[in-house]
């Protein structure tokens, strides 16, 4: 493409927008070159680690969780595109879920940083300064769930027994699986971790769940005819990785730090972590229609 054609295309672009192309060309003439460090905001990114103690490995702990949130954002970036796509094609879905699986696998593999990348004794000292903060409070994790599947698939067995036959969105959230990490069902008392989490995000979760009613990825996939076995295998792989393999890696990492010496220490959020992190207890499934009854009954028993 020669310069004249390029300039003409630029002029045409801004004229279609009702703008004066000359203004934008003059601005381009004065614009400074972009640098990697400015575009990626490197200085800002590297300034976001603010340890609360003098233990060196606390900075690793912070960076790891920041990287995790970026991976979740990558997943959510793809999942939102799937959720709003008007006309699904096999190629589109295969491409998107291949990407989503790649990010999920990276999350799973990254847990070695947590398990083997920090000093055991130092971690068990500095983690006390983090209470009541907990990875449980990751809102992006919940946004992914709400885009992927209906609230009825985010109930564990006990929740399904408690809930009414025609529950409202609010009632679903009263019995959703993750609430068991911070609510004593016998006394009705919530721990501070759950209380603060709900104060900040519950209204967003309810709003999103209402917006996604009948429009989740699971809803739309269930209505999609002629799904190939290759696509079904990809969807089941994502479901298993996110809802079984990843929680199991998290559970085993928690065991390493909280119970490897039979201390049975409490999580910073105060949850019954051995129970809560177990996929068999959570019973979270994004695409239950794509699993056999036997597979659903054995959900989370092995990875």
User: What CA–CA distance (Å, rounded) separates 188 from 177?
Assistant: 15
Contact 200, 62 (CB under 8 A): no
- Nearest partner of 218 among 194, 198, 235, 199, judged by Cα: 235
- Per residue in 44-68, pLDDT tens? 999 999 999 999 999 999 999 999 9
Question: Encoding tokens for residue 202?
Answer: 């519950």
Residue 183 β-bridge partners: 190
Question: Encoding tokens for residue 36?
Answer: 């990697």
CA dihedral 293, 166, 188, 208 (to 10 degrees): 80
Neighbours of 174 (CB within 10 A): 14
Distances 97 to 35, 101, 210, 215, 237 between C-alpha atoms, Å? 33, 6, 24, 18, 9
- Per residue in 230-263, pLDDT tens? 999 999 999 999 999 998 988 888 777 766 555 6
| Per-residue burial over 220-237, b = 16 or more CB atoms within 10 Å of its CB, e = otherwise | ebeeeeeeeeebeebbeb
Q: Which positions ≥6 away from 36 have C-beta within 8 Å?
A: 42
Domains of the chain: 53-129+137-158+201-297 (1.20.58.480)
Residue 268: pLDDT band (50, 70, 90) is: low
Question: Would you call 183 helix, strand, or coil by DSSP?
Answer: strand
Residue 188 burial by Cβ neighbours in a 10 Å radius (0-12, 13-18, 19+)? exposed
Total length of the chain? 303
Contact 219, 151 (CB under 8 A): no
- Per residue in 17-51, pLDDT tens? 999 999 999 998 899 999 999 999 999 999 999 99
pLDDT for the residue 143:
98
Residue 301: pLDDT band (50, 70, 90) is: confident
Neighbours of 5 (CB within 10 A): 9
pLDDT for the residue 130:
92
| Per-residue burial over 140-168, b = 16 or more CB atoms within 10 Å of its CB, e = otherwise | ebbbbbbbbbbbebbbbeebeeebeeebe
pLDDT for the residue 266:
59
């Amino acid at each position: 493409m020669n310069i004249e054609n390029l300039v003409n295309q630029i002029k045409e672009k801004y004229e279609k927008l009702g703008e004066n192309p000359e203004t934008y060309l003059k601005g381009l003439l004065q614009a400074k070159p972009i640098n990697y460090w400015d575009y990626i905001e490197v200085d800002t990114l590297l300034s976001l680690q603010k340890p609360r103690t003098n233990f060196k490995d606390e900075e690793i702990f912070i960076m790891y969780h920041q990287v995790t949130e970026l991976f979740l954002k990558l997943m959510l970036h793809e999942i939102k595109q799937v959720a709003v796509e008007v006309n699904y094609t096999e190629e589109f879905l295969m491409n998107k879920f291949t990407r989503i699986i790649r990010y999920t696998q990276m999350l799973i593999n990254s847990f070695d940083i947590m398990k083997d990348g920090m000093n055991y004794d130092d971690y068990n000292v500095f983690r006390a300064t983090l209470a009541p903060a907990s990875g449980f409070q990751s809102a992006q994790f919940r946004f992914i769930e709400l885009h992927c599947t209906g609230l009825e698939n985010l109930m564990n067995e006990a929740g399904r027994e408690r809930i009414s036959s025609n529950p409202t969105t609010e009632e679903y959230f009263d019995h959703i699986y993750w609430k068991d990490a911070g609510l004593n069902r016998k006394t009705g008392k919530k721990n501070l971790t759950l209380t603060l989490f709900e104060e900040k995000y519950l209204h967003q979760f309810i709003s999103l769940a209402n917006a996604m009613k009948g429009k989740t990825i699971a809803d739309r996939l269930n209505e999609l005819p002629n799904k190939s076995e290759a696509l079904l295998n990809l969807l089941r792989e994502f479901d298993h990785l996110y809802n079984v393999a990843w929680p199991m890696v998290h559970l085993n990492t928690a065991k390493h730090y909280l119970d490897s010496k039979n201390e049975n220490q409490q999580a910073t959020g105060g949850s019954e972590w051995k129970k809560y992190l177990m996929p068999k207890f959570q019973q979270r499934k994004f695409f239950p229609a794509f699993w056999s009854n036997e597979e659903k009954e054995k959900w989370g028993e092995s990875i």
